[in-house]
Amino acid sequence: MATERLKRALLKLVSDQRIDSLALYPCQVLRDHGDMRLDLQPDRADLPLLVHIPLRTMLPGVTVRVRQGARVLLGFENGDPSRPVATLFDGGALENLTIHAQTSITLQTPDLDLGDEGGTGVLRQNKSVTWVFAAPVVPGVPVSADPVAGGSSIVKAVG
């Protein structure tokens, strides 16, 4: 199996003392498999191409998609070369970010700007907002939009 060959190759490199299993190694993302696993090309020539390496965000409940060509750091859980992991460190690496929460997500900030790449503010605090719902209204689930200071709106589904 490819995973076992990878583990053996990494163990051999560590036992030959060519790599430090407690260090972090910059890599380029070749592919995001969509399941929080990446294919990586390490910058170091003596490290092999790595496939299906788990991605750790260090924030429970967050899943991400990483763009091809992004930069990550390769490390080894508990210094064990048979347990490689990738961690994000490049600010431009994210293609998609999903936050899974059981109850709520709260943002506490004096300034909120949800915009597109061109810098156009899609939603800004203290600006008027028009909410458009693409999904049909569910019978028995009223939706309310309450204006708050500055002309913004808070949209809340009431169950």
Q: Domain for residue 106, yes or no?
A: no
Report how far residue 29's alpha carbon sits from residue 42's, in angstroms, rounded to the nearest whole number: 9
Q: Is the dihedral of CA 81, 32, 65, 115 positive or negative?
A: positive
Q: How far apart are the first and last CA of the chain?
A: 50
pTM for this structure? 0.62
Q: Which of 59, 54, 85, 87 is nearest to 71 (CA)?
A: 87
Domain co-membership, 15 together with 93: yes
11 and 77 together in one domain: yes
Examine the domain organization and report whether 31 and 95 are in the same domain. Answer: yes
Identify the domain containing residue 54 by its residue range.
Answer: 2-99
Pairing between β-strand 37-42 and β-strand 50-56 as defined by DSSP bridges? antiparallel
Stretch 18-31: mean pLDDT? 91
Of these ranges, 63-67, 90-94, 141-145, the one predicted with the greatest mean pLDDT is 63-67
In this model, does residue 62 exceed pLDDT 70? yes
The CATH number given to whatever domain includes residue 22 is 2.40.50
Task: Judge whether 6 and 50 are in contact, CB under 8 Å.
Answer: yes
Verify that 117 and 95 share a domain, yes or no: no
**Boundary of a domain, candidates 58, 74, 99:** 99
The average pLDDT across 23-38 equals: 96
Query: Which of 12-16, 59-63, 108-112 is predicted with the least confidence, judged by mean pLDDT?
Result: 12-16
Total domain count, the chain: 2
Shared domain check, 119 and 83: no
- Same domain membership, residue 121 and residue 60: no
Check whether residue 27 and residue 58 sit in a common domain: yes
Q: Which two tokens stand for residue 153?
A: 């709106």
Cα–Cα distance measured from residue 124 to residue 144, given in angstroms and rounded to the nearest whole number? 19
pLDDT at 82 over 80: yes
Q: What pLDDT is attached to residue 156?
A: 45
Query: Is 23 part of any domain?
Result: yes
Q: What CA–CA distance (Å, rounded) separates 52 from 5? A: 13
What Cα–Cα distance (Å) separates residue 30 from each residue in 39, 84, 125, 133?
5, 16, 37, 36
Residue 55 in tokens: 């991605």
Same domain? For 35 and 58 the reply is yes
